[in-house]
Amino acid sequence: MIAQPQVLEVEQLVTVFDTPDGPVRAVDGFDISVGPRETVALVGESGSGKSVTCLSIMGLLPQSGRIHGGAIRFMGENLVQASESRRRELRGSSIAMIFQEPMTSLNPVFRVGMQISETIRAHLGGSAENASKRAVELLDLVGIPEAGRRARNYPHELSGGMRQRVMIAIALACEPKLLIADEPTTALDVTVQAQILELLKDLQSDLGMAVLFVTHDLGVVAGIADRVHVMYAGQGVESGKVLDVYRRPLMPYTEGLLLSIPQLVATGSERRLPTIDGQSPSAGLRAEGCAFLERCRYARDLCREGSVDLEMREDRSVRCRRVDDLVLSGTTS
Ligand SMILES: Nc1ncnc2c1ncn2[C@@H]1O[C@H](COP(=O)(O)OP(=O)(O)OP(=O)(O)O)[C@@H](O)[C@H]1O
Ligand SMILES: [Mg+2]
């Protein structure tokens, strides 16, 4: 069998911010790939570098940020070397992103149908009439009832869940090959979250996109992703097929994330969810040894020295010195 080329291949990405205290590595040698029709989850707690990874892929880093090293290949083309105009072209046509906060990315003064049809016309051309027809179709596709009427609403007239659906419609307007969804459900309540996740899953299988799905919650990953990458302090610490990682995590940090997912089956007794104590080290302030050291209940002296490499184990990767002598608990639900 000939291996299919990846839609996205990020290799040894290093993204740096210039700060008053000097340059800070928010992403520090990170690898991730997404194949055709595949959904890959990127998981990690706040500040681990997930959004900076997405913005690096999109070419949308703020002024103070820059890609310092590594490669970002989209269908084989290295975007790190691409011109700004080429980046812009790809953003409109082939790579789309849904952002964490839907309200900030919609323009409050234009009707939502218009915002979708303008995206269509800017990237695909065509008449205004066809674009507004397509906008209504897209609103319908993302599950907005009475799409024709809703297209005439302004963003503030819609609920948070509906606004996020509009954002998804805008992202899909140009039929992207790669969709990056950065915590698309974080700002929404739990029932709406579930609906949006279901919607993304359906769209992914109908439209055959590759999806990079970002979340801090390993609980949502099981239903939607094929593979998962766990990020900690700007680096990859574990990756593999979702089921394998769930059944048997190899890195203590992943075990901690799994233990903090509420179990679906009631255990009969009141149980407080364990959390991972402490905070991840700030970008740039990483000491010798494993970055998770201070928070790891399995840490030993051997974890204190040098830098810990990411090791490949068949189709998994793990960054832990104790990988061969630990048996960590997974989850069965
Ligand atoms: N504009 C910026 N200037 C300086 N540092 C930044 C900037 N944006 C992000 N960072 C730093 O980069 C690191 C990663 O941030 P990032 O936003 O990628 O985290 P995240 O994993 O997306 O977290 P969250 O789950 O809260 O969205 C953080 O330590 C953050 O302080
Ligand atoms: Mg983020």
| 138 closest CA partner among 56, 207, 237 | 207
Tokens representing 252 are 């203590």
* DSSP β-ladder status, 95-98 and 311-313: unpaired
- Note whether residue 99 is domain-resident: no
Containing 198, the helix (H) or strand (E) segment is helix 190-207
- Note whether residue 276 is domain-resident: no
| 168 closest CA partner among 198, 123, 190, 189 | 198
Q: Which class for 124: exposed (0-12), middle (13-18), buried (19 or more C-beta within 10 A)?
A: middle
The whole-number average pLDDT for the span 266-276 is: 58
Answer yes or no: is the C-beta of 52 below 6 A from any ligand 1 atom.
Answer: yes
pLDDT tens digits, one per residue of 150-162: 999 999 999 888 8
Q: What is the pLDDT of residue 286?
A: 65
Mark which of 112, 146, 173 sits at the end of a domain: 173
Residue nearest to atom 27 of ligand 1 (CA): 46
**Enclosing domain of residue 166:** 104-173
**HSE, side-chain direction, 13 A CA sphere, residue 175:** 5
**Cα–ligand 1 centroid distance for 126 (angstroms):** 39
204 shares a domain with 299: yes
Instruction: Indicate the average pLDDT of the chain.
Output: 89
- Note whether residue 275 is domain-resident: no
**Cα–ligand 2 centroid distance for 39 (angstroms):** 18
110 shares a domain with 15: no
125 shares a domain with 31: no
Answer yes or no: is the C-beta of 13 below 6 A from any ligand 1 atom.
Answer: no
pLDDT tens digits, one per residue of 122-175: 888 889 999 999 999 999 988 899 999 999 999 999 988 889 889 989 988 888
DSSP line for 71-133: EEEETTEEGGGS-HHHHHHHHHHTEEEE-S-HHHHS-TTS-HHHHHHHHHHHHH---HHHHHH
Residue nearest to atom 12 of ligand 1 (CA): 26
Instruction: Give pTM, 2 decimals.
Output: 0.91
4 shares a domain with 43: yes
- Note whether residue 196 is domain-resident: yes
| 262 closest CA partner among 220, 231, 224, 229 | 220
Is pLDDT above 90 for 260? Answer: no
76 shares a domain with 207: yes
pLDDT tens digits, one per residue of 97-126: 988 765 567 899 999 999 999 988 988 888
Residue 123 sits at φ, ψ, to 5 deg, of: -105, -30
Integer-rounded Cα radius of gyration of the chain:
21
- Note whether residue 283 is domain-resident: no
Answer yes or no: is the C-beta of 50 below 6 A from any ligand 1 atom.
Answer: yes
Answer yes or no: is the C-beta of 62 below 6 A from any ligand 1 atom.
Answer: yes
CATH number at residue 17: 3.40.50.300
Q: What is the pLDDT of residue 180?
A: 95
196 shares a domain with 125: no
Is pLDDT above 90 for 194? Answer: no
Q: Contact 238/318 with Cβ under 8 angstroms?
A: yes
Q: Contact 41/180 with Cβ under 8 angstroms?
A: no
74 shares a domain with 197: yes
Tokens representing 119 are 């995206």
